Every structure is written in structure tokens, then in C-alpha cells.
Structure 1
């Protein structure tokens, strides 16, 4: 049976540099934006993604909400990222941040407290950073942070 109400999955992943990602975040100024930095090789990242998808699906009809999953996998692993999206049924937008060489430049621009480890989730409201979560995030914390900011 073909599912007509299921959210379509990405067949392609945008490959971005830091500046592109920054522009993308700024273009979602009217929303509560959840930006999760992760990689297919990071066990805690993979472990928390089902919670993120549940919450993303619950909010999929809310025009004031958007989730972006920023993969820090290498560009050569793009196929693996695409397979992962399909196998794990990721419904949020996934982008590949191909900017490893400049990590020390862009990490502190996202968050001074961020030491470069993943997973990391940054919440924006009206283009402003409102919350930074270092490490794995529970479904409850994720829902709570989104709900507080959607008010």
C-alpha cells in the first residue's frame, strides 16, 4: 500500500558551507527553528533521532515550526547519509555541512560554549538563538523547549 499522507523523503541532500547554513537559518526568521548537528557515525546522535522525528512529525502542520538536521558527515559519505535518511525515515530537512576545515571558525559563531562535540541542538526563534543543548536530548526536553518557544 502506498502512503499518501507520509511526508516525502529527501532524495538529495544539499551540501552547504557555513555561510549558506547561516543564511538558511536567517531565512526562517518567522519560525521556531530546531537545528540539530549530528553524524551517521555518532551513536548518541543516531539514538536521539527517533525522538526528533516524532516531534518533527507532531509539529509538521505548524507553519511556525521547522527542523533542520545538519549532518557533519564527510562529503565522500553523502551516499551513506542518503541511505540513512531512507532507512531511518528522517522527515526533517537534512543538509550536509561540508566545512570541516573551518570548524574552528564556525563552531564558536554558532555557540561560544560549543566545544565541537555532537550531538548539539540549537533553537532559534525569530532568527535569534534562544537555547543551546550540548549532548543528547530527551524527547521531553525537546518538546518542552519547542512548546515554550512556540507560545
Structure 2
């Protein structure tokens, strides 16, 4: 029985570790915009955050809990867009592991042009984070400025999930 428990523990550990990213792609705004448009027939939740943003870090466990609930649904996808600097990539990867982030993480390496791309995501976005934008069939359907509660996140998903 003890051996069975050890084997199950090792399998669970391997599964959780495998689910986490070990590499984070660094992309520019145009690539992210293209990626959003390509996610057809899905509800796409895009969260903009940073490892140095306290409200971002605070809301991420709720986002991971909700992501876990819907991850098997082919009509749902969550992407966490880190606004950390490219030179801080190792910190981002360590953060993913330490915080058990299972949603896909992308680093948006386009800080110099933020005054160009921020209004393209949302004209009322003043640049503060966290921000969560919901897309359905590549079209923006909801913008949440600031920290998002688990209840609000789930309600928005349920209301819009195909």
C-alpha cells in the first residue's frame, strides 16, 4: 500500500510539473494580436500582469483555479501576458513554477511601444495592470480594468462560453 501511495504521489508530481511552462515565448504586440484573432470558436481570457504587481499576483491563484475548471473545454483558453522585462525572463519562469501557473504564459516584450498598442487593446485602458480582456471568436467582448474577483471572472466566463 505504501508503494502504491508513493507511485501515485510521483505521478501527480510529474503531472503538475509537466503542466508548467519551462520556456516563455517573448513576442511583440502584432504577434499577440494575430494570436488572438486566430483563436476562433473559443472564449479567450487574456490577462495582462507582472511579477512585480501586487494586485496581479493576488488574483492569479483565482485565475488558476478557474482555468483548472475549464481547461478541458475546447471552447475555452486562458493566456497570461506578462509585462515583465525581457531581462527578467528567469524571474518569470521561476514565478510560474513557484506559483503553479498552469495557463499559458507569454511575455510581451514591447514596452517601448506601449502607448501604441495599449489603446489598440482598449481605448479606455490607462496602462495600469492587472487588466483582463475577454475575446469571443477573435472579437473583444469584455474589458476588466484592475483586479478581478474569482466570482466576476467565473460569471463572465459562464455568460460568454459558447
Category of TM-score, reference length = shorter chain: over 0.9
Pick aligned residue for 1:66 from 67, 77, 80: 77
Equivalent residues, number:
151
Q: SS state of the match for residue 29, structure 1?
A: coil
For structure 1, the residue ranges without an aligned partner over 5 or more in a row are none
For structure 2, the residue ranges without an aligned partner over 5 or more in a row are 1-8
Give structure 1 regions of 4+ aligned residues with deviation exceeding 6 angstroms. none
CA displacement, residues 96-145 of structure 1 (integer Å, 9 cap, x when unaligned) = 00000000000000000100000000000111100000000000000000
CA distance, structure 1, for counterparts of residue 111 and residue 61 of structure 2: 26
The question of 1:80 aligning with 2:75 is answered: no
The question of 1:20 aligning with 2:28 is answered: no
Structure (1/2) with the larger helix percentage: 2
The question of 1:99 aligning with 2:118 is answered: no
TM-score normalised by structure 1 residue count: 0.97
The question of 1:129 aligning with 2:111 is answered: no
TM-score normalised by structure 2 residue count: 0.91
Q: SS state of the match for residue 114, structure 1?
A: coil
Match of 1:55 in 2: 66
Q: Whose Rg is larger?
A: 2
CA distance, structure 1, for counterparts of residue 138 and residue 35 of structure 2: 10
